[in-house]
Amino acid sequence: MNVYFMRHGETDWNTIKRLQGTTDIPLNKNGEELAKVTAANMEKDGIKFDVIYSSPLVRALKTAEYMNEYSKAPVIVDKRIREYCFGQAEGVTFDELKVNPKFVNLRNWFLDPENFVAELGAESYDEFFGRLSSFLNEVLIPLEKENSNQNVLIVCHGGVVRGLLKVMLDWDISRFAETKIPNCGINLCTLHDGKFELEFTAKKYY
């Protein structure tokens, strides 16, 4: 089974590098266009989806709708693949995150994940990776057992893409900060007999 997973299209908060997390920010015009072009170019490459799973946040769900233009597949919303919750840091710019001592622990989530400490309403690693593992074990792995000849698309968020890569491939937490995912960046893992293998990451179809 082919498991494609992607970050949503661009938002205005992305352009000014403001931390979104679970704050429900819509796509901007460029984000809509990125999703449309990505869908069209994947269709040209012969890639269509049998089922699409989406985060409930509007920027992901709208991206999923654009990505479904050619596949006309079922779109299933799953809250387990919503973005990481940054607590009180949501809405803060990355520049402020780097210099404000209030967020010294939270910025380790990006820069030094091995020393990250969840505080100020942010999710813990156990909560975050736990819900992603639950999604994989309760949704994707049973789906592969039912029919291994499927193309599945997961439309989610930058933090979730990093988290999925870690959980799928059992990466060390230190690699979590290394992965850079552009808006509408496409990743592909194959799933065979319950085991994930990475084919590519952060590929642009636009």
- Residue 170 burial by CB count (10 A; 0-12/13-18/19+): exposed, middle or buried? exposed
195-203 vs 186-192, strand pairing mode: antiparallel
How wide is the angle at C-alpha 157 spanned by C-alphas 155 and 163, nearest 5°? 105
Residue among 10, 33, 83, 192 flagged as catalytic:
83
Active site residue 114: no
* Catalytically annotated residue among 8, 90, 123, 157: 8
The H helix count followed by the E strand count for the chain is 8, 6
Lookup: tokens for 49: 């989806």
157 counts as catalytic: no
What amino acid positions are annotated as catalytic residues? 8, 83
